[in-house]
């Protein structure tokens, strides 16, 4: 009788908190902050349709933080690309195993330099008065460890920032994730930006502030080793707009398992519409160093027809 009453109270409180959380997520208005992680955080992951959660290097902290737990000693990851000869993306991640689990630190950034500040002359035509450099970045700290031999848990804290010359923006949030491993099947689930009412605050340099919402995402993915040569990946990402799907096939020759050839498909938002595209790539591991390349087609640009991504990681 007493336990039923206690359970009844607990159930009501749990449901109440969950309902409040759902309402908080659903009533968030305004433009969503543009997430740097939408591009992808490593060439290896991008080549697999950007299916996240199966990057077992330090760069994995930009995906499911629980994946860091798979690092045995230490890891370094580096990712770089430049789009349209203008937007430079880079990230660097470091992680090491301690007696208390794996800890990691990472920094990701995109930058565009020489953006014009303009004015109007007496004829109504425009000219450049000065320039500024744009920078958007994430500082991340992560922790992960095994809960059970086949279950890992991870959490990461992110500090977001933007610089538009004299306009500065900052915000913070955190991710939590879990992985589950069986001999042939692995599952990954994480919540990106777990706190649903978090925003980036833009200081406009004139005493005013404006805000953009940091979007919360639920990312669930799976990996199935069909054979020693073929592995299939799939992912569902849920954001307040809707659902995005991704999938990939990886081939690794039996005679040379250090070589992985990947082909994938990923969906992404362009404004409020969902678009999709093919990704291709290759990873090669030699002497503990994994070098990866990924290719993705650009649609509709009159000058550029592809994006090319590179990453290097070392697991010690």
Partner 1 sequence: MSRLSVVMILCSGGAYAAPQVDKYSFLSYTVLKPNVGVGSLDKTNSSDSFYVLLAVKWSYLLDDQLGISSRPNGLADTSPVSLETRPLVYPNPFSLSDGAVLGYRLSRNADVEIRIFDIRANQIFKQRYDAGAYGGIGNTYNKLSINRSIFGGYDLPAGIYFFVISSEGRVIGKGKFAVVPK
H-state helical runs in 43-180: 43-47
**According to the binding rule CB under 8 A, does residue 123 interact with partner 1?**
yes
Q: Does 172 bind partner 1 (CB under 8 A)?
A: no
Closest alpha carbon to 244 in 49, 74, 90, 79: 49
Task: Kindly write out the interface string for residues 56-95 of this chain, putting x where it contacts partner 1 by CB under 8 A and - elsewhere.
Answer: ---------------------------xx-xx--------
Contact 140, 107 (CB under 8 A): yes
Q: Do residues 62 and 77 make contact, with C-beta atoms less than 8 angstroms apart?
A: no
Beta bridge partners of 315: 75
Binding flag, residue 276, partner 1 (CB under 8 A): no
What is the Cα–Cα distance from 308 to 296, expressed in whole angstroms?
Answer: 7
Distances in Å between the alpha carbon of 106 and those of 57, 85, 164, 277, 302?
A: 12, 25, 22, 28, 35
Rule CB under 8 A: say whether 255 interacts with partner 1: no
State the Cα–Cα distance between residues 226 and 223, nearest whole angstrom.
9
What sign does the CA torsion over 51, 54, 59, 60 have? positive
Q: State which of residues 10, 14, 126, 230 lies at the interface with partner 1 (CB under 8 A).
A: 126
Residue 315 to residue 42: CA distance in whole angstroms: 15
In the list 21, 105, 134, 224, the residue contacting partner 1 (rule: CB under 8 A) is 134
Tell me how far, at minimum, the Cβ of 198 lies from partner 1, in Å. Answer: 15
Under rule CB under 8 A, residue 257 binds partner 1: no
110 binds partner 1 (CB under 8 A): yes
**Shortest distance, CB of residue 39 to partner 1, whole angstroms?**
6
Does position 44 interact with partner 1 (CB under 8 A)? The reply is no
Q: Which is nearer to partner 1, 180 or 268 (CB)?
A: 268
> Of the candidates 99, 122, 124, 207, which one interacts with partner 1 according to CB under 8 A?
124
Best CA proximity match to 170, nearest among 117, 225, 210: 210
**How many C-beta neighbours within 10 Å does residue 227 have?**
10
298 contributes a contact to partner 1 by CB under 8 A? yes
Contact residue for partner 1 among 33, 56, 79, 174 (CB under 8 A): 33
- Pick the binder of partner 1 from 183, 254, 272, 288 (CB under 8 A): 272
Query: In angstroms, how far is CA 128 from the centroid of its own chain?
Result: 36
Q: Where are the beta strands (DSSP E) in 167-213?
A: 167-181, 185-192, 199-203, 209-213
**260 contact partners, CB below 8 Å, separation of at least 6:** 44, 250, 251, 252, 282, 283, 284
| Residue 193 within binding range of partner 1, rule CB under 8 A | no
Residues 143, 246: Cα–Cα separation, whole Å:
26
Task: Please identify, using beta-carbon distances, which residue of 143 and 202 lies nearer to partner 1.
Answer: 202
109 lines the binding site for partner 1 (CB under 8 A): no
Q: Which of 1, 2, 27, 271 binds partner 1 (CB under 8 A)?
A: 271
Residue selected from 21, 25, 28, 32 as contacting partner 1 according to rule CB under 8 A: 32
Q: Could you give the string, one character per residue 218-247, with x where binding to partner 1 holds by CB under 8 A and - elsewhere?
A: ------------------------------
Q: How far is the CB of 11 from partner 1 (least distance, A)?
A: 39
Closest approach, Cβ 266 to partner 1, in A, equals: 12
- Residues that bind partner 1 in the complex, under the rule CB under 8 A: 30-34, 38-39, 83-84, 86-87, 110, 112, 115-120, 123-128, 134, 136, 162, 164-165, 167, 169, 202, 204, 210-212, 268, 270-272, 275, 298-304, 307
């Amino acid at each position: 009788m007493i336990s039923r009453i206690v359970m009844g109270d607990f159930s009501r409180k749990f449901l109440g908190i969950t309902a409040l959380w759902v309402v908080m997520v659903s009533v968030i208005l305004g433009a969503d902050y543009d997430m740097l992680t939408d591009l992808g955080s490593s060439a290896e992951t991008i080549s697999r349709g950007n299916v996240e959660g199966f990057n077992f290097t330090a760069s994995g902290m930009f995906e499911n933080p629980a994946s860091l737990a798979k690092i045995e000693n230490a890891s370094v990851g580096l990712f770089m690309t430049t789009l349209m000869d203008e937007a430079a993306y880079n990230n660097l991640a470091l992680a090491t195993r301690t007696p208390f689990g794996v800890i990691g630190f990472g920094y990701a950034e995109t930058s565009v330099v020489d953006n014009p500040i303009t004015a109007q002359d007496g004829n109504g035509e425009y000219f450049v008065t000065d320039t500024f450099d744009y920078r958007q970045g994430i500082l991340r700290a992560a922790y992960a460890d095994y809960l059970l031999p086949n279950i890992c848990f991870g959490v990461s804290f992110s500090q977001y920032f933007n610089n538009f010359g004299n306009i500065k923006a900052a915000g913070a949030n955190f991710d939590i994730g879990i992985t589950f491993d069986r001999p042939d099947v692995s599952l990954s689930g994480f919540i990106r930006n777990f706190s649903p009412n978090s925003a980036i605050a833009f200081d406009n340099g004139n005493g005013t502030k404006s805000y953009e919402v940091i979007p919360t995402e639920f990312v669930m993915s799976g990996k199935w080793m069909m054979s020693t040569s073929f592995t299939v990946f799939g992912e569902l990402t849920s954001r307040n707009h809707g659902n995005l799907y991704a999938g990939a096939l990886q081939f690794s020759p039996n005679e040379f398992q250090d070589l992985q050839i990947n082909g994938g498909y990923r969906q992404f938002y362009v404004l409020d519409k969902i678009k999709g595209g093919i990704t291709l790539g290759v990873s090669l591991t030699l002497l503990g160093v994994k070098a990866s390349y990924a290719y993705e087609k650009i649609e509709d640009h009159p000058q550029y027809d592809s994006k090319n991504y590179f990453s290097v990681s070392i697991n010690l």
